[in-house]
């Protein structure tokens, strides 16, 4: 069993780390917030810094919100880089800039260590059920070494290519997710406004070509009006910013991605930054002056 460092124990990181602990790995933890009691009670070691984590662990996993947070965790004062020794592996499972990822990987490689970018999809439920999709960029040997850990956290695990390619895949994933949430929201809003029962409409659509996990899970959230976060709108806004910035660099147009970002922006303007991203439907409801399930 490996000694595994885990930095970032939030909505996603906490259950992911718990899966590794259940599998028997020794955990060394660090977070800017208080560490989860259940992990400490299970034998995990709390560390005061990323440097301390890296000095104790063979593989260091980072799971934090955005590019600046990863940079600070790795290269800030008492960061991971200061505690690394040759032969260790740094695994960034956050969702961040592909370009910055390549720069971070190069810096870690100069220290004699491997780097994998391994963002995930599946949300809090996927983390709790160890069913995450994990899209990985980096060298084959490092991937093979870390794969047993990935297997404890996810089911669909793919080495896409070199460093940065995992993050590029995650941006593509977030484009698809956002556009599908928007489509499901429009469809259920249309059905509800037309007088049909949106719950029964969703049930009927689940058996056809329009079926999807987003219709299944987020369609139900829209009907039940449950927008407590599995994945916050503000985080999806961050991911779509990466998509739109990348599109500008590549000189391509992503018109529907831009529309979804504007709908997220509208939600944020109404205090919804921390809603689940399925809450995008609320922006559509404001435009229609109709809430899914209402009789007006």
Q: Give the residue numbers marked as catalytic.
A: 170
Q: Which residue has the tokens 């660090």?
A: 30
What is the distance between the alpha carbons of residues 82 and 67, in angstroms, rounded to a whole number? 19
Centre a 10 Å sphere on the Cβ of residue 42 and count the other Cβ atoms it contains. Answer: 13
How far apart, in Å, do the first and last CA atoms of the chain sit? 59
Hey, which residues does 6 pair with through a beta bridge? 29, 61
What is the distance between the alpha carbons of residues 128 and 230, in angstroms, rounded to a whole number? 11
DSSP reduced 3-state for 203:
helix
Hey, which residues does 154 pair with through a beta bridge? 132
Hey, which residues does 137 pair with through a beta bridge? 117, 161
* CA separation, residue 202 to residues 179, 217, 227, 283, 285 (Å): 17, 10, 18, 20, 17
Q: Hey, CA dihedral for 27, 28, 32, 34, is it positive or negative?
A: positive
Residues 277/263, Cβ–Cβ less than 8 Å: no
Give the residue from 220, 219, 218, 224 showing the smallest Cα distance to 276.
218
What is the distance between the alpha carbons of residues 104 and 51, in angstroms, rounded to a whole number? 16
The DSSP secondary structure of 8-51, one letter per residue, reads --STTHHHHHHHHHHTT-EEEEE-SSPPPHHHHHTT-EE-SSHH
Measure the CA dihedral 36/38/41/43, to 10°.
-80
């Amino acid at each position: 069993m490996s000694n595994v460092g885990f930095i970032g124990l939030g909505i996603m990181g906490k259950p992911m780390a718990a899966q590794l602990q259940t599998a028997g790995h020794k955990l060394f933890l660090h977070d800017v917030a208080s560490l989860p009691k259940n992990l400490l009670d299970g034998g995990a070691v709390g560390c005061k810094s990323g440097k301390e984590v890296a000095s104790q662990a063979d593989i260091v996993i980072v799971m934090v919100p955005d590019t600046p947070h990863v940079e600070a965790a790795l290269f800030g004062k008492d960061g991971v880089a200061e505690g690394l020794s040759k032969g260790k592996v740094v695994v960034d499972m956050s969702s961040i800039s592909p370009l910055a990822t390549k720069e971070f990987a190069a810096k870690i490689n100069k220290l004699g260590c491997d780097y994998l970018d391994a963002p995930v999809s599946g949300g809090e439920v996927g983390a709790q059920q160890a069913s995450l999709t994990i899209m990985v960029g980096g060298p084959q040997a490092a991937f093979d070494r870390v794969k047993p850990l990935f297997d404890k956290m996810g089911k669909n695990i793919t080495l896409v290519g070199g460093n940065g390619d995992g993050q590029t895949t995650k941006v593509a994933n977030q484009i698809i997710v956002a556009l599908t949430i928007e489509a499901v929201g429009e469809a259920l809003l249309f059905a509800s406004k037309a007088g049909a029962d949106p719950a029964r409409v969703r049930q009927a659509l689940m058996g056809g070509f329009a079926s999807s996990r987003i219709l299944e899970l987020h369609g139900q959230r829209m009907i039940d009006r449950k927008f407590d976060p599995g994945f916050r709108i503000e985080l999806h806004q961050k991911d779509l910013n990466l998509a739109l910035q990348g599109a500008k660099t590549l000189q391509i147009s992503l018109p529907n991605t831009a529309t979804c970002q504007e709908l997220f922006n509208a939600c944020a303007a109404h205090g919804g930054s921390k809603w689940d991203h399925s809450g995008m439907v609320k922006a559509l409801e404001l435009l229609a002056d109709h809430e899914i399930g209402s009789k007006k």
